[in-house]
């Protein structure tokens, strides 16, 4: 009886072992199959959902890719970011000094005028003010560079040098560049000076320029006859 006992025991043990290894092998096969299926992308619909699903995790993945430069879908959302940069380089303010070969002057003052014109003009302006008339300096002493620029503009405007010099003389001929001429504004002030300037030795010189005055005669004496227009001479 004692000999009979072991075989059934060993049988049962072997059977148990077989069944256990069989289950283990089956389980491992199932696990292996599952891994392969996942790897190849043949998983269950439940596994696919997070990868392909539109709104959920898939959207997050696309957003993350959208931040990568060069993704065409998301360029519109990424390009506005650099746009706010204005990249403004501060422009240099217009500088008052302009001439390369000349000192510059405050043209609307007596700065740079000959002492004779300046003293006469100041007396005349004081008298005009006493009369309640506004007599202001529109253009007094000019630099040669400024005069040249005015002449260039006049040539452009009148079409030729010959026509232009009737209005704007070349620097070498201009009394403004010498500090011996003044243009007066407004027209009422120029008219007052035309009528009263002789008392102070200030005269209108040209027919075509009612604003242009020079110290042409002795104070209180009659002004010389007017010239039709300026000549480059
Ligand atoms: Zn003038």
Instruction: Report if residue 153 sits inside a domain.
Output: yes
How close is the Cα of 164 to the center of ligand 1, in Å? Answer: 13
Q: Domain range holding 206? A: 115-214
Query: Residue length, the chain?
Result: 233
- Reading the block at residue 188, the tokens are 């009422």
Q: Would you tell me how many other CB atoms lie within 10 Å of the CB of residue 59?
A: 11
Q: Quick one: 201 and 150 in the same domain? A: yes
Q: Over the stretch 79-119, which tens digit does the pLDDT of each residue have? A: 445 554 555 555 554 444 444 455 889 999 999 999 999 99
Q: Is the torsion defined by CA of 70, 73, 79, 81 positive or negative?
A: negative
Q: Quick one: 188 and 127 in the same domain? A: yes
How close is the Cα of 183 to the center of ligand 1, in Å? Answer: 5
Comparing CA positions, the residue from 111, 107, 123 lying closest to residue 184 is 107
How close is the Cα of 140 to the center of ligand 1, in Å? Answer: 8
Q: Quick one: 126 and 173 in the same domain? A: yes
CB distance 76 to 107 below 8 Å = no
How close is the Cα of 141 to the center of ligand 1, in Å? Answer: 10
Domain holding 182: CATH number? 3.30.1380.10
Q: Give 74 or 226, the one with higher predicted confidence.
A: 226
How close is the Cα of 182 to the center of ligand 1, in Å? Answer: 6
Q: What is the mean pLDDT of the chain?
A: 73
How close is the Cα of 168 to the center of ligand 1, in Å? Answer: 8
Confidence of residue 177 (pLDDT cuts 50, 70, 90): very high
How close is the Cα of 232 to the center of ligand 1, in Å? Answer: 14
H and E: helices and strands count for the chain: 8, 4
> Residue 18's pLDDT is what?
45
How close is the Cα of 32 to the center of ligand 1, in Å? Answer: 104
Q: Quick one: 122 and 198 in the same domain? A: yes
Q: Over the stretch 36-93, which tens digit does the pLDDT of each residue have? A: 344 444 444 433 333 433 343 443 333 333 333 333 444 444 444 555 455 555 555 4
Question: 119 preceded by cis ω (within 30°)?
Answer: no
Q: Quick one: 71 and 122 in the same domain? A: no
Q: Quick one: 144 and 205 in the same domain? A: yes
Q: Quick one: 57 and 125 in the same domain? A: no
d(CA 104, CA 95): 11
In the chain, the number of structural domains is 2
Q: Which of these three, 54, 78, 102, is where a domain ends?
A: 78
How close is the Cα of 148 to the center of ligand 1, in Å? Answer: 14
Residue matched to tokens 């898939």: 58
Instruction: Report if residue 101 sits inside a domain.
Output: no
CA distances from 161 to 73, 113, 156, 205, 229 (A): 63, 27, 9, 21, 14
Q: Quick one: 48 and 126 in the same domain? A: no
Q: Quick one: 136 and 71 in the same domain? A: no
Instruction: Report if residue 175 sits inside a domain.
Output: yes
Question: 186 preceded by cis ω (within 30°)?
Answer: yes
> Residue 19's pLDDT is what?
54
């Amino acid at each position: 009886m004692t000999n009979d006992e072991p075989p059934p025991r060993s049988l049962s043990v072997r059977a148990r072992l077989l069944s256990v290894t069989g289950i283990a092998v089956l389980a491992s096969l199932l696990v292996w199959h599952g891994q392969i299926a996942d790897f190849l992308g043949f998983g269950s619909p439940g596994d696919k959902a997070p990868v392909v699903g539109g709104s959920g995790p898939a959207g997050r993945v696309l957003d993350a890719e959208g931040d990568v430069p060069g993704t065409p879908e998301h360029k519109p959302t990424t390009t506005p970011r650099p746009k706010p940069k204005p990249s403004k380089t501060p422009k240099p303010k217009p500088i008052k000094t302009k001439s390369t070969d000349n000192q510059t002057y405050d043209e609307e003052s007596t700065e740079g005028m000959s002492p004779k014109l300046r003293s006469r003009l100041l007396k005349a302006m004081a008298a005009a003010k006493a009369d309640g008339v506004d007599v202001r300096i529109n253009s007094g002493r000019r630099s040669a560079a400024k005069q040249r620029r005015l002449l260039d503009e006049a040539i452009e405007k009148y079409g030729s040098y010959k026509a232009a010099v009737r209005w704007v003389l070349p620097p070498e001929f201009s009394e403004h560049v010498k500090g011996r001429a003044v243009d007066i504004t407004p027209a009422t002030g120029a008219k007052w000076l035309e009528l009263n300037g002789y008392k102070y030795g200030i005269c209108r010189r040209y027919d075509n320029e009612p604003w242009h005055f020079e110290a042409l005669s002795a104070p209180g004496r009659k002004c010389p006859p007017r010239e039709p227009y300026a000549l480059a001479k």
